[in-house]
Structure 1
């Protein structure tokens, strides 16, 4: 059942958040990974604690984390943890409060339980595959916006370049947050109407937040409108589009007009 897993994820996220805050705004040591992205000593400490807590409680689950080498054994596990110890590492390094911990459990390609925790704000989003989306225990709901005009979209500026939009660049209000998981949760609570990432996206960035947004009533797909699948090899999705259902359809029509004809 996903409920015990959700409680486990919640408790682990809060414990790991305390570790992250010990390093936040204290000039943590920064390393540069092979892909030129930064990782801090906080990421590694949070990852170590989550591994101990989660695999200690569920030793038969697979493990997929941004900060660990990928173990192909996860592909044969019935259930797998999908973890981003700190999503929004650049925001964390800069002392911003919008970094997030993203924790999920997936089975059969679907996420069963997910938690996104922003420890600097003490803001915890959660959902199970059959339950409501919650923020600090209270139900949240995605926007009901049906069209593009006046919509707010969380995305980076390059995503709105004309070459990505054969149906015409949409006229909307753009905002941005470093953490993909947090962007998905902002859609879940209706503070923004949608979010879009066109680049291939790592599973650990979107597993928990994607479930939360979907359970809040948003439509969540890859950039082509396809179903998101998890615990894949490699663990990437062809982008992600999450938005109020009507807005999702309108954006997809602009991105792929021929597919709508």
Structure 2
């Protein structure tokens, strides 16, 4: 398998075990914990079999920092949106599998776009409840903007002020959705036109969805317009913007710190 085929196979393997567990007797926190662990095992087994020399950064595994000197690092979230997954009747959760590769002479954490840095090169995002895996190659095609107001994806539990600011700048509406990965894929799939996040997340929460969004031609950045950096020593990423490219200037003007 090439890298994108492996990413897709890993996402599907995780999806299979997650869906199987969801039909069993476990519920609530027990179901979420079982799903996290089983999806991690499924992905780790495939990566160990097919790319044993690559490093892995996963939400569900200890970070030994070997990735900081590695040329190839898989960034994985075996179950993004545990709360939605264990609800049983929601589809807005995901599986993330991305590959970061170092440019010649690069250092871990160098900014994307720096000639000596690294970047996300391959990704697959599984949407198990929908029976879909979206990959970077072939790149997804973003549907045209439908009639009606523009839509900004936002957390179901809280709407950060930057999301409201983006919606106001676009004369749009907020669309509550589940996991971070699903909200990013909602823009790719045409369910939303922008996703703006503040308050922090980790690299595994966005790496695969951002890679897919980039492949689809969408804008991705920090709130201040700077690049999203992956495989940095600190896994924390404070904020995120994903939107249709023609909306980027308006969104960034509204959400840029100090705006």
TM-score (norm 2): 0.83
**Against the structure 1 CA distance between its residues 216 and 163, is the aligned structure 2 distance closer, same or farther, given a 3 Å change threshold?**
closer
**Against the structure 1 CA distance between its residues 117 and 257, is the aligned structure 2 distance closer, same or farther, given a 3 Å change threshold?**
closer
Distance 1:126 1:113 in 2: 8
**Contact 1:143–1:192 under 8 Å retained in 2:** no
Distance 2:221 2:134 in 1: 20
The aligned counterpart of 2:139 is 133
The aligned counterpart of 1:64 is 57
Is 1:114–2:123 an aligned residue pair? Answer: yes
- CA positional deviation for 1:118: 1.4
The aligned counterpart of 1:176 is 176
The aligned counterpart of 1:26 is 24
The aligned counterpart of 2:151 is 152
Deviations 1:42-71 (A, max 9, x none): 110110121111122111111111111111
The aligned counterpart of 2:97 is 103
Give the length in aligned residue pairs.
240
The aligned counterpart of 1:10 is 8
The aligned counterpart of 1:45 is 38
- Aligned residues: CA RMSD: 2.7
**Against the structure 1 CA distance between its residues 102 and 168, is the aligned structure 2 distance closer, same or farther, given a 3 Å change threshold?**
closer
5+ unaligned residues in a row in structure 2: which ranges? 103-117
Is 1:220–2:220 an aligned residue pair? Answer: yes
The aligned counterpart of 2:249 is 249
Distance 2:192 2:72 in 1: 32
**Contact 2:163–2:197 under 8 Å retained in 1:** no
**Contact 2:184–2:195 under 8 Å retained in 1:** yes
**Contact 2:124–2:135 under 8 Å retained in 1:** yes
Distance 2:28 2:64 in 1: 25
**Contact 2:12–2:126 under 8 Å retained in 1:** yes
Deviations 1:110-134 (A, max 9, x none): 111000011221111100xxx5423
- Mapping of 1:80-99 within 5 angstroms? 80-95=73-88, 96-99=90-93
TM-score (norm 1): 0.82
